[in-house]
Amino acid sequence: MRNRITGTIVFVFVGALLCGGCAKKEVVKPEETAPAAQAAPVTPAPAEQPKAAEQVKPAPRPPEPAPQVAETPAAEAPVSSEAPKAGAREQAPAGEAAGEMRMDLKTVYFAFDSSELSAETRDALSKNAEVLKMSPGMKIRIEGNCDERGSDEYNMALGERRAKSAKDYLVNLGIAPDRISVISYGEEKPVDQGHDEAAWSKNRRDDFVIAK
Amino acid sequence: MIKKLLLISILLLLPGLCSGQTYLDIAAPVSGKPQLVLAPSTTLSGPASPEVAKELSELFSLDLGLAGLFDVTTAGQAAPGAPLLLKSAYAVNGNSLVIECRLFDQVLNRELTAKRYSGSIKELRRMGHAFSDEVLRVLTGQKGPFTGKIAYATKVSGNKEIFVMDYDGFHPQRLTNNGSININPDFSPSGREIVYTSYKKGNPDLYRREIYTGAEARISARPGINAQGTFSPDGSKIAEVMSKDGNAEIYLISRDGRELARLTRTPAIDVSPAWSPDGKRLVFVSDRLGKPQLFIMDSDGGNVRRLTTEGSYNVTPRWSPKGDRIAYARQVPGGFQIFAINPDGTQDTQLTTSGSNEHPRWSPDGRFIVFSSTRNGAEAIYLMRADGSAQTRISRGRGPDSHPTWSNGW
């Protein structure tokens, strides 16, 4: 399945940037100055007298509050109009930033360690497809999520699989693939913080977010 | 701020203790550990500081007790004739501190090592850990891991940010502060850099960051997932999970993010790569047979074979620095437990039982495994010996804390 993730195209343009930062770069000894001078001649000395000297440069400690040069989101205007507002959105610690609503698009749910679409999920996706057909200019991002039980590393991939599974279904219903981007949040964005099946079943989901 | 300081240490090279000869054979079954006595710390010069003396004593007790090789006691409890004696002395002068530490073999009546450290008073614990590393080096031939740092992800500020702390949980320091989701920290072999994944620009992208300066590069920002970066043992390459070609696959990239190789090609999920210490193989997680299991492949992607056959959900493997064991987490009723298995699939052993335990990572000397656990409520960072003994909480915040990884000594 070919997947076009419009939301991330903008980042390709940006490329890897080395944020040396505005702050003056502090000089760091790159490598430990290991036993530098351990070879001084061993001279007879009183029992408790150290004999050979070894200089150890202590590793620099991390900056107390790390200089957050690199962390401030650079004022990165969307390069193209296709760019979703994901970047801006993620800066907010929680919740939706302005300009994004979930409107009538329905969240769909999954079984544990599964990206299979249940009958109920397919019904909801069909309704979402109708919404998209009525708003031909609308682009969406499908956000795949998992419950906390699986491995978070594996769940990163499982969340993406869930999002793509929903995308494939919508495309089969006639929605143009370039209207749909996907992203996985793994188990990092639970809607219910609980630790039981009632919470988990709400967290194994795809959210549908209007990207533009 | 950089603390310009100088640590001066003194090492006595004794004629009787050549390389390869050790006082303790850690592989042998322990029948009565040798006693190691901590003498009360005294002043070299200047006024006595009970705080310094107490902190040193507690630090040595913790480090050397965790090592599991000695019966560590303080001088008051010492049986006469204890084979090992650790003496320390300090001089506090304003904000500067000098510490001299010596280890004696009282049976052979000789000094095994002596070191002198000087620097800021804030470096007290670092100096003490450096001598603990040295004690293990002298007695076993392999230095301790106590000057290594633990990087981890914590939600203490509401979202997951990357922090580093001392191996024993002291001095937690924030590395990221972007309000987004930051996960999967992994140290370079030098311990001075990490790679991690952040959503701070929307997509899960991989960043390489110089810990000390904060200088950072976004090295992998392909469409989809860019996560779980892990440095090769020589530091020249990074194994990474990307989904740019359709689903989660394992790739090798350069330190600058250039793609070097694609290692997996399946419609299944392939994640969590971890290098063998010689850099010739990787262990990873795949659900190509249905459920997530551990597999081993050559570092060119060839010669894939399944490692785990027990359990229906085995994840997050890490190869031990000696190469003889692979630690991982298995899903069991009620959560995860940490196991270790030989690379040939034998001796699959459960190491934890209390609470749910995940994310095992080895200390750089292979003596310990650091992991996250929910045994006392919120997820926190713990460590244990490689055999599962001495399980000890190390993170001190309210958490939740996860994804620990232990650097080489600084």
Q: What is the CATH number of the domain that holds B262?
A: 2.120.10.30
CB contact under 8 A, B329 and A151: yes
Residue A61 has pLDDT above 50, yes or no: no
pLDDT at B258: 97
Residue A47 has pLDDT above 50, yes or no: no
Contact (CB, 8 A) for B248 and B264: no
- Cis check: omega of the bond before A93, within 30 degrees of 0: no
pTM over 0.90: no
d(CA B313, CA B290): 10
**What are the two backbone dihedrals, phi and then psi, of residue B98, each rounded to the nearest 5 degrees?**
-120, 135
| Predicted confidence (pLDDT) per residue in A26-43, tens digit | 333 333 333 333 333 333
Query: Taking the mean position of all CA atoms in its chain, how far away is CA B370?
Result: 6
CB contact under 8 A, B12 and A153: no
Mean pLDDT of B182-193: 96
pLDDT at B21: 45
Tokens 């997951």 -> residue: B160
- Asked whether residue B249 is domain-assigned, the answer is yes
- Asked whether residue B368 is domain-assigned, the answer is yes
Q: Which CATH class is domain A84-91+101-210?
A: alpha beta
CB contact under 8 A, B247 and A164: yes
d(CA B38, CA B55): 12
d(CA A131, CA B307): 47
Comparing B11-20, B57-66, B352-361, which segment has the lowest mean pLDDT?
B11-20
Q: Between the CA atoms of A22, A25, A30 and A34, what dihedral angle is there, to the nearest 10 degrees?
A: -140
My answer on whether B267 and B203 are in the same domain is yes
Q: A212 CA to chain B: closest CA distance, Å?
A: 15
Query: Of B140, B169, B187, which marks where a domain is finished?
Result: B140
Structural domain for B107, as ranges: 35-140
Q: Name which of B111, B225, B313 is nearest A156 (Cβ-Cβ).
A: B225
Best of A29, A80, A153 to substitute, by most chain B Cβ atoms within 10 angstroms, is A153
Those of residues 146-165 in B touching chain A at CB distance below 8 A are: 147, 158-160, 164
Q: Which helix (H) or strand (E) holds B130?
A: helix B124-140
| Predicted confidence (pLDDT) per residue in B107-135, tens digit | 888 999 999 999 999 999 999 999 999 99
Q: Which helix (H) or strand (E) holds A169?
A: helix A152-172
CB contact under 8 A, A150 and B159: no
Three-state secondary structure call for residue A131: helix
pLDDT at B407: 97
Residue A158 has pLDDT above 70, yes or no: yes
**CB-based contact, A82 to chain B, within 8 Å:** no
My answer on whether B399 and B330 are in the same domain is yes
Those of residues 32-51 in A touching chain B at CB distance below 8 A are: 32, 35, 38, 42, 47-48, 50-51
Exposed (0-12), middle (13-18) or buried (19+): which is B146, by Cβ within 10 Å?
buried
CB contact under 8 A, A156 and B204: yes
Best of A151, A161, A188, A196 to substitute, by most chain B Cβ atoms within 10 angstroms, is A151
- Asked whether residue B397 is domain-assigned, the answer is yes
- Asked whether residue B8 is domain-assigned, the answer is no
Chain B residues with CB inside 8 Å of A158's CB?
269
Q: Which residues of B69-91 are buried (b: 16+ CB within 10 A; e: fewer)?
A: bbbbbeeeebeeebebbbbbbbb
How many CA atoms, within 13 angstroms, populate the side-chain half-sphere of residue B206?
31
Q: Which helix (H) or strand (E) holds A133?
A: helix A119-134
My answer on whether B375 and B267 are in the same domain is yes
d(CA A188, CA A165): 20
Residue in chain B nearest A26 by alpha carbon: B213
Length of chain B as a residue count: 410
Give the percent of chain B with pLDDT over 90: 85
DSSP code for A27 = P
pLDDT at B29: 38
My answer on whether B295 and B340 are in the same domain is yes
Quick one: which of B310, B269, B313, B303 has its CA closest to B287?
A: B269
- Asked whether residue B20 is domain-assigned, the answer is no
Q: Name which of B10, B117, B179 is nearest A93 (Cβ-Cβ).
A: B179
- Asked whether residue B182 is domain-assigned, the answer is yes
Q: A with B: how many residue pairs have Cβ under 8 Å apart?
A: 268
Domain count, chain B: 2
pLDDT at A207: 96
| Predicted confidence (pLDDT) per residue in B389-400, tens digit | 999 999 998 889
My answer on whether B89 and B180 are in the same domain is no
**Of residues B187 and A24, which shows the higher confidence score?**
B187
Beta strands in chain A (DSSP E): 18-19, 53-56, 108-109, 140-144, 180-184, 205-210
**What are the two backbone dihedrals, phi and then psi, of residue B162, each rounded to the nearest 5 degrees?**
-90, 130
Give the percent of chain A with pLDDT over 70: 51
**Of residues A7 and B274, which shows the higher confidence score?**
B274
**CB-based contact, A99 to chain B, within 8 Å:** no
My answer on whether B293 and B356 are in the same domain is yes
**CA separation (Å) from B3 to A27, B7, B215?**
11, 12, 18
My answer on whether B129 and B157 are in the same domain is no
**Given strand B226-231, what is the order of strands in its sheet?**
B226-231, B237-242, B249-254, B259-262
Query: Of B113, B140, B167, which marks where a domain is finished?
Result: B140
**CA separation (Å) from B357 to B170, B230, B273, B346, B370?**
22, 21, 19, 22, 10
- Asked whether residue B394 is domain-assigned, the answer is yes
pLDDT at B33: 87
CB contact under 8 A, A113 and B313: yes
Q: A152 CA to chain B: closest CA distance, Å?
A: 9
- Asked whether residue B88 is domain-assigned, the answer is yes
Residue in chain B nearest A60 by alpha carbon: B2
Q: A191 CA to chain B: closest CA distance, Å?
A: 14
**CB-based contact, B246 to chain A, within 8 Å:** yes
| Predicted confidence (pLDDT) per residue in A65-106, tens digit | 333 333 333 333 333 333 333 333 334 333 344 344 445 899
My answer on whether B226 and B307 are in the same domain is yes
Q: Which helix (H) or strand (E) holds A132?
A: helix A119-134
Mean pLDDT of A111-116: 92
Quick one: which of B133, B179, B125, B173 has its CA closest to B152?
A: B173
- CATH number of the domain bearing residue B76: 3.40.50.10070
**CB-based contact, A111 to chain B, within 8 Å:** no
d(CA A156, CA B266): 17
Query: Of B140, B169, B186, which marks where a domain is finished?
Result: B140
CB contact under 8 A, A19 and B210: no
Residue in chain A nearest B175 by alpha carbon: A66
**CB-based contact, A21 to chain B, within 8 Å:** yes
d(CA A8, CA B206): 13
